[in-house]
């Protein structure tokens, strides 16, 4: 439309203005959206620690998209659901908070594919522990030892319980996230409110469904885990209500993981079901991540470090004269099964001979072994097929080297004997009940102090050896030694 002079009409001028303004508005919106999304687009690189010990404790092993909890949700959980914790914060589950680090040991903060920081777990969850000389001492944190204070079952049950809590909504959680200083931009708030929180809730509900077998089990307590029931339910969809009773009694201690090089080719795991350190490591990692999301670079970096990491030396005085008396006793009584180079070290002793609790052996079934061969199918790393080939069902428990044995209390595969000295007594004289989770060391009996029920408001876990899977029977070796010979043997084992 034009007027009588051939010029654009008022309506045309308005329309042209609207078109130009629309282009400007759309452009402005896109620029603003890009600015808001920039933190997500640029936050894609996993954190890689230069120091290998830091990487072991805080580096990711994968699982950001499959198993990660968005960071600010994870931070809010112990605040919103504090009524479901045994004490203050997540460290009430025994996780170790190291000075200068935001997350407890065993937790990694890294971005997922959306660019959101998420929290995953790594090997240090089960393989970093603490040690105190006295009740008023600061704990010494030691990598690759069993996580003697960590109540992993308690943490899993906490996550499972909050997922079905009616408070797990954006309306309830977002105000706490704001109060904690998250400083999320509008786009990030939308993602948290309408994607991250609902998806995390659904994931925790699924987690709960995968761990219903815990309701039928003996409580684990700190330093222990059921290695294979979660495999059956979460990796292979075994119906948890169909698991046999004897399969549910396989709760075992976290092992030490130092000095792995000399162990290559030995029968690994408590029951000796694998001879490959790599497969053992990947198997353990799958408790935390999916086969398709595992970070092989990170796993192998840690593997290479652990291959040569020596066991920690005993830090307290040793009676060298008494240890010298104990050395030939060890060589004659223990070395064939537990010293590197011994004729039976790294081999399985049949359950009928070893006589220890059969629960962990029974929990690893032929059906599970056959299913494990489907893991990592079609996945390669540096040109090598990652599919499992070494897993086998065995008929007993493996003899393991005793390097650093002073730091691996409690003893036997299920952690049913508190000290080395107790292990040299007949089962009827071993403690029937004791307390786990206390990290003050007993240099006389060699193990952690086990008669403290509570300290400074913290209650420790009472371990009952009469409960299913907790038997302290078996390993009837060295029982006929005199008390003096037993004392000498324990003194020598401090040197291993």
**How many Cβ atoms from other residues are within 10 Å of residue 269's Cβ?**
24
- Which positions ≥6 away from 368 have C-beta within 8 Å? 228, 231, 232, 236
Q: Is residue 234 one of the residues assigned to a domain?
A: yes
Sort 265 into a burial class: Cβ within 10 Å, 0-12 / 13-18 / 19+.
exposed
The answer, yes or no, to whether residue 277 has pLDDT greater than 50, is yes
Ordered DSSP codes for 209-259:
HHTGGGGGS----TTEEETTHHIIIIIS---GGGS-GGGGG-EEEPPP---
Report how many helices (DSSP H) and strands (DSSP E) the chain contains, helices first: 18, 17
Give the pLDDT confidence of 96-136 residue by residue, as tens digits. Answer: 999 999 999 999 999 988 888 999 999 999 999 999 999 99
Q: Is residue 396 one of the residues assigned to a domain?
A: yes
Give the pLDDT confidence of 133-152 residue by residue, as tens digits. Answer: 999 999 999 999 999 999 99
Check whether residue 105 and residue 16 sit in a common domain.
no
Check whether residue 22 and residue 102 sit in a common domain.
no
The answer to whether the pTM exceeds 0.85 is: yes
If you average pLDDT over residues 277-293, what whole number do you get? 87
Q: Is residue 36 one of the residues assigned to a domain?
A: yes
Residue 62 in 3-state DSSP? strand
Give the domain range for residue 69. 46-317+349-400
Q: Is residue 12 one of the residues assigned to a domain?
A: yes
Q: Which tokens in the block code for residue 16?
A: 């042209």
Positive/negative CA dihedral, 259, 286, 362, 393: negative
φ/ψ region of 61 (left if φ > 0, alpha if ψ in -120 to 50, else beta) reads alpha
If you average pLDDT over residues 289-303, what whole number do you get? 89
Average pLDDT, the chain: 90
378-397 as b/e, with b when 16 or more CB fall inside 10 Å?
eeeeeeeebbbebbeebebb
Q: Given pLDDT bands bounded at 50, 70 and 90, which one contains residue 382? A: confident
Check whether residue 276 and residue 128 sit in a common domain.
yes
Nearest by Cα to 277 from 158, 404, 390, 144: 390
Distances (CA, A) of 47 to 43, 52, 196, 431: 10, 12, 21, 45
Check whether residue 59 and residue 131 sit in a common domain.
yes
Check whether residue 36 and residue 57 sit in a common domain.
no
Q: How far is the C-alpha of 235 from the C-alpha of 18, rounded, in Å?
A: 57
Residue pair 164/208 in contact (Cβ under 8 Å)? The answer is: yes
Residue pair 128/105 in contact (Cβ under 8 Å)? The answer is: yes
Check whether residue 126 and residue 7 sit in a common domain.
no
Any idea what the Cα angle at residue 277 is, between residues 222 and 263, rounded to 5°?
90
- Which range, of 9-18, 151-160, 435-444, 477-486, averages the lowest pLDDT? 9-18
Task: Tell me whether strands 447-448 and 380-381 are parallel, antiparallel or unpaired.
Answer: unpaired
Sort 219 into a burial class: Cβ within 10 Å, 0-12 / 13-18 / 19+.
middle
Check whether residue 261 and residue 224 sit in a common domain.
yes
**The predicted structure's pLDDT at residue 200:** 94
Residue 128 in 3-state DSSP? strand
Residue 428 in 3-state DSSP? helix
Q: How far is the C-alpha of 297 from the C-alpha of 381, rounded, in Å?
A: 9
Q: Which tokens in the block code for residue 203?
A: 């994931």
Cα 52 to the center of its chain, rounded Å:
18
Q: Which tokens in the block code for residue 215?
A: 């309701």
Number of structural domains found in the chain:
2
Nearest by Cα to 129 from 343, 376, 416, 441: 441
Check whether residue 250 and residue 364 sit in a common domain.
yes
Q: Which tokens in the block code for residue 390?
A: 């070494």
Nearest by Cα to 410 from 274, 248, 251: 251
Q: Is residue 86 one of the residues assigned to a domain?
A: yes
Q: Given pLDDT bands bounded at 50, 70 and 90, which one contains residue 4? A: low
Residue 286 in 3-state DSSP? coil
Check whether residue 29 and residue 59 sit in a common domain.
no
Check whether residue 34 and residue 93 sit in a common domain.
no
Q: Is residue 181 one of the residues assigned to a domain?
A: yes
% of the chain surpassing 70 pLDDT = 91
- For residue 264, whether the previous peptide bond is cis, meaning omega lies within 30 degrees of 0, is no
Check whether residue 103 and residue 35 sit in a common domain.
no
Check whether residue 12 and residue 146 sit in a common domain.
no
Q: Is residue 473 one of the residues assigned to a domain?
A: no
If you average pLDDT over residues 246-259, what whole number do you get? 94
Q: Is residue 389 one of the residues assigned to a domain?
A: yes
- Which range, of 39-43, 272-276, 465-469, averages the lowest pLDDT? 39-43
Q: How far is the C-alpha of 97 from the C-alpha of 453, rounded, in Å?
A: 22
């Amino acid at each position: 439309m034009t007027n009588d002079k051939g010029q654009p009409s008022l309506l045309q001028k308005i329309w042209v203005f609207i078109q130009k303004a629309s282009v400007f508005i759309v452009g402005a919106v896109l620029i603003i959206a890009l600015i808001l999304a920039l933190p997500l687009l640029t936050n894609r690189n996993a954190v890689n620690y230069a120091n290998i010990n830091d990487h072991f404790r805080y580096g990711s092993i994968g699982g950001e998209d499959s198993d990660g909890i968005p960071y600010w949700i994870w931070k809010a959980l112990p605040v919103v659901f504090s009524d479901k914790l045994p004490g203050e914060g997540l460290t009430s589950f025994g996780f170790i908070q190291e000075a200068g680090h935001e997350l407890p040991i065993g937790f990694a903060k890294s971005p997922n594919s959306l660019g959101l920081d998420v929290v995953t777990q790594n090997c240090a969850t089960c393989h970093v522990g603490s040690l105190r000389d006295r009740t008023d001492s600061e704990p010494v944190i030691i990598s690759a030892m069993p996580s003697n204070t960590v109540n992993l079952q308690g943490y899993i049950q906490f996550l499972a319980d909050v997922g079905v809590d009616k408070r797990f909504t954006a309306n309830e959680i977002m105000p706490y996230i704001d109060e904690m200083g998250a400083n999320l931009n509008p786009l990030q708030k939308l993602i948290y409110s309408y994607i991250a929180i609902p998806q995390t809730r659904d994931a925790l509900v699924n987690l709960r469904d995968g761990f219903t077998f815990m309701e039928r089990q003996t409580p684990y307590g700190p330093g222990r885990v059921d290695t294979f029931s979660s495999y059956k339910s979460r990796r292979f969809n075994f119906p948890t209500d169909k698991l046999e009773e004897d399969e549910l009694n396989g709760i075992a201690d976290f092992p030490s993981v130092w000095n792995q090089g000399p162990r290559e080719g030995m029968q690994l795991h408590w029951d000796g079901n694998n001879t490959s350190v790599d497969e053992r490591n990947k198997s353990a990692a799958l408790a935390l991540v999916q086969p398709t999301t595992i970070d092989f670079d990170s796993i192998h970096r840690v593997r290479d470090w652990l291959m040569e990491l020596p066991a920690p030396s005993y830090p307290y005085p040793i009676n060298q004269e008494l240890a010298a008396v104990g050395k030939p006793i060890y060589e004659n009584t223990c070395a064939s099964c537990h010293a590197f180079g011994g004729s039976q070290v790294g081999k399985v002793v049949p359950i009928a001979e070893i006589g220890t609790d059969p629960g962990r052996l029974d929990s690893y079934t032929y059906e599970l072994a056959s299913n494990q061969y489907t893991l990592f199918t079609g996945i390669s790393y540096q040109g090598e097929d990652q599919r499992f080939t070494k897993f086998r069902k065995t008929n007993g428990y493996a003899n393991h080297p005793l390097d650093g044995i002073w730091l691996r209390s409690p003893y036997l595969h299920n952690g049913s004997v508190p000290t080395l000295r107790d292990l040299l007594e007949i089962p009827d004289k071993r403690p029937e009940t004791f307390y786990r989770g206390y990290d003050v060391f007993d240099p006389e009996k060699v193990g952690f102090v086990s008669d403290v029920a509570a300290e400074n408001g913290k209650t420790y876990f009472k371990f009952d050896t009469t409960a299913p899977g907790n038997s302290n029977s078996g390993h009837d070796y060295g029982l006929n030694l005199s008390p003096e010979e037993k004392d000498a043997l324990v003194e020598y084992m401090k040197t291993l």
